[in-house]
Amino acid sequence: MLVLGIESSCDETGVALVETGDSPVPRLLSHALHSQIEMHQAYGGVVPELASRDHIRRVLPLTERVLADAGLAAADVDVVAYTRGPGLAGALLVGAGIACAIGAALDVPVWGVHHLEGHLLSPFLSADPPEFPFVALLVSGGHTQLMRVDGVGRYQLLGETIDDAAGEAFDKSAKLLGLGYPGGPALARLAQSGDPQAFKLPRPLLHSGDLDFSFAGLKTAVLTQARKLGTGLEERKPDLAASTQAAIVEVLVKKSLAALRQTGLRRIVVAGGVGANRLLREQLDAACARLGVRVHYPELSLCTDNGAMIAMAAAMRLQAGAGAPDKRYAFDVKPR
Ligand code: KG4
Ligand code: ZN
């Protein structure tokens, strides 16, 4: 079965082709991505209306490109998958509408995929895919969750953020430091030249005994420090960036280790945009190496939003017999 996947939940338009077959993990044939980052940069954040309009412009040319790259024709597609949510309503509707139009034109079924399931299964796109069961740390701009994953569609939430997501903590702190959008990578870059111990910032819920997170207080603490520094902020920005990153990463690593202890599992998968963070990877790798736990990441370029993970999630569901796409072409989206 050839699955065409379309991602349009936020500021990246992604399209990909994944094929199910005899091997346990479906195969990525081609994928293409258009990032809107440059377009939104002038506004300091994502402008939903501009995002929707740009998705409209990009989806079909990207679809033609992935078909050409794979040496296939539209008529070869068996199922069309799109991101059903969560995300920006208008942006999601573009992907859903185009997916249904393609599905209807080709007379093939269409399937709405949960964006987070895409992230969760994205490590299966790597050359060395994980085996079930595993703990998953899902860290994106909108979500921070720890999950127990026993198979495709068999997900148990172990803990999650009670306020801001980890990516949001990066983005909001970056904004306070005047680093623009997208904040996470910018803050991480600046942190490289700073001292992570320069400022004492809170590690909320670190010792709460459960697997929940809270990051809202951190951005307030960063704001307080920035105000205290006043005109001296400019010079100390790298130190404040490094201290902020260290606080976020410490909480993510310690809670991940607690989830491994609680479940007794020996494997962890990290997914979502914050999974691209170098310090997080270094510290988690080091801690897990000491415990003999395997850590899996998606390829760096597939940590942030992309079409490959949506096509892969649909293909893995098809292969596992977990639900069936249909030809109703009732393109529903779930922004929240
Ligand atoms: O998964 P993603 O692309 O989109 C959502 O589904 O939210 O994640 C985007 C988030 C943003 O908050 C971005 O700042 C963060 O991931 N991010 C990073 C890094 N790269 C992306 N945060 C820290 N360090 C990075 N290198
Ligand atoms: Zn995402």
What ipTM was predicted for this assembly?
0.98
pLDDT band at 330 (very low <50, low <70, confident <90, very high): confident
Axis-axis angle for helices 233-263, 216-229 (nearest 10): 160
- Taking residues 310-332, report their average pLDDT: 92
Tell me: pLDDT of 116 over 90.
yes
Same domain, 81 and 140: no
Same domain, 185 and 281: yes
15-67 per-position pLDDT tens digit: 999 999 988 899 999 999 999 999 998 898 899 999 999 999 999 999 999 99
Residue 183 Cα to ligand 1 midpoint, Å, equals 8
Q: What is the model's pLDDT at position 187?
A: 98
| Choice from 116, 121, 252, 304 to test ligand 1 binding pocket (greatest atom count within 8 A of CB) | 304
Tell me: pLDDT of 180 over 90.
no
Same domain, 154 and 183: yes
Residue 141 Cα to ligand 1 midpoint, Å, equals 5
| CA atoms within 13 Å, Cβ hemisphere of 306 | 28
- Taking residues 61-85, report their average pLDDT: 98
Tell me: pLDDT of 274 over 90.
yes
Return the structure tokens found at 75. Answer: 């008529």
Q: What is the model's pLDDT at position 331?
A: 79
Residue for token digits 């964006």?
A: 115
Total domain count for the chain? Answer: 2
Same domain, 293 and 308: no
Same domain, 117 and 136: no
Could you tell me the CA-to-CA distances from 332 to 49, 81, 308, 328 in Å, in that order?
A: 19, 12, 21, 11
Task: Give the number of the atom of ligand 1 that is nearest the alpha carbon of residue 115.
Answer: 6
Tell me: pLDDT of 210 over 90.
yes
User: Would 335 be classed as within a structural domain?
Assistant: no
Residue 218 sits in which domain range? 129-297
pLDDT band at 296 (very low <50, low <70, confident <90, very high): very high
Q: What is the model's pLDDT at position 26?
A: 97
Q: What is the model's pLDDT at position 155?
A: 96
Same domain, 289 and 141: yes
CATH of the domain at 47: 3.30.420.40
User: Would 42 be classed as within a structural domain?
Assistant: yes
Tell me: pLDDT of 78 over 90.
yes
Tell me: pLDDT of 323 over 90.
no
User: Would 330 be classed as within a structural domain?
Assistant: no
Q: Which residues surround ligand 1 with Cβ inside 6 Å?
A: 10, 119, 140-142, 167, 170-171, 182-185, 188, 272-274, 276-277, 304-305
Same domain, 142 and 221: yes
Give the three-class secondary structure for 86.
Answer: coil
pTM here is 0.93
pLDDT band at 96 (very low <50, low <70, confident <90, very high): very high
| Cross-sheet strand order for the sheet of 79-85 | 27-35, 12-19, 2-7, 79-85, 110-114
Q: Is 126 annotated as a binding residue?
A: no
Residue 312 Cα to ligand 2 midpoint, Å, equals 14
Q: Is 142 annotated as a binding residue?
A: yes
Axis-axis angle for helices 89-106, 48-70 (nearest 10): 30
Same domain, 104 and 154: no
Specify which of 180-184, 291-295, 297-301, 329-333 reaches the highest per-range mean pLDDT: 291-295
User: Would 332 be classed as within a structural domain?
Assistant: no
Task: Give the number of the atom of ligand 1 that is nearest the alpha carbon of residue 165.
Answer: 12
Same domain, 115 and 22: yes
Axis-axis angle for helices 233-263, 183-191 (nearest 10): 110
- Per cent of the chain over pLDDT 90 is 92
Residue for token digits 């963070």?
A: 277
Work out the number of other CB atoms within 10 angstroms of the CB of residue 41: 12
Tell me: pLDDT of 131 over 90.
yes
User: Would 64 be classed as within a structural domain?
Assistant: yes
Same domain, 159 and 118: no
229-272 per-position pLDDT tens digit: 999 999 999 999 999 999 999 999 999 999 999 999 999 999 99
Same domain, 237 and 311: no
Mean pLDDT of the chain: 96
Same domain, 229 and 177: yes
Residue 140 Cα to ligand 2 midpoint, Å, equals 6
User: Would 51 be classed as within a structural domain?
Assistant: yes
- Taking residues 265-288, report their average pLDDT: 97
Q: Is 230 annotated as a binding residue?
A: no
Q: What is the model's pLDDT at position 138?
A: 97
Taking the C-alpha atoms of residue 54 and residue 52, their distance in angstroms, rounded to an integer, is 5
User: Would 35 be classed as within a structural domain?
Assistant: yes
* Cα dihedral 162/165/171/174 (nearest 10): 50
User: Would 328 be classed as within a structural domain?
Assistant: no
147-162 per-position pLDDT tens digit: 999 999 999 999 999 9
Residue 9 Cα to ligand 1 midpoint, Å, equals 14
